[in-house]
Amino acid sequence: MNGLLLVTKMVADRKTGKVLGAQCVGPGNVSKQIAQWAMAIQGGLSVSDIMNADLPYAPPFSLAIDHFIATAHIMQNKMKGKLKGISAGAVREKLGTGENPFLIDVRDAVEFEQMRLGIGETLIPLGAIRKRLPDLPRDKNREIICYCKISLRGYEAALVLEANGWKM
């Protein structure tokens, strides 16, 4: 099924929204994703064009909201400043230079026990984030990095923190 943990890097022109490039990796055959990106680039499509695409789907083979379209939504949120991302390499660099961002793993306890980074992260499952606000840094300007397995819960946690006054 195409909904399995695919990771896509998309590049778009900030001014026009035109898609300039994309890479996709993941288990199984990602050729459908690459074919979609190739057609989008060749056709001069923008992020908005892709978001409004109506792609066919069949539950055994793909999700109702295709990874291709979901990636375009994420890019639009980044372009509009609604989503701030940080790469694993950038986090590693911060930790290596002595910066001390507050790292929140918002996965559930089972996922956390199965695999953890071990770099000083704090487990606060997304469902508990509102109750655990007192456990966060009192300095609401301190950098907080929220993450999970595929970023959705990390994004949702960041929105909760931002709504409660933390600078994200």
Structural domains in the chain, CATH included, are 7-79 (3.30.390.30), 88-163 (3.40.250.10)
pTM listed for this prediction: 0.73
pLDDT tens per residue across span 65-121: 788 988 999 899 899 988 888 888 899 999 999 998 999 999 999 999 999 888 989
Report the 10 Å Cβ neighbour count for 19: 24
**What residues form DSSP beta bridges with 122?**
104
Measured CA angle at 101 (ends 140, 118), to 5 deg: 135
Mean of pLDDT values over 33-45 = 96
Task: Give percent of the chain with pLDDT exceeding 90.
Answer: 61
Question: Which SS3 state, helix, strand or coil, does residue 11 take?
Answer: strand
Q: Is the dihedral of CA 18, 21, 25, 31 positive or negative?
A: positive
Copy the structure tokens of residue 87.
């790469």
Stated length of the chain: 168
Query: Within the chain, how many helices (H) and strands (E) appear?
Result: 6, 5
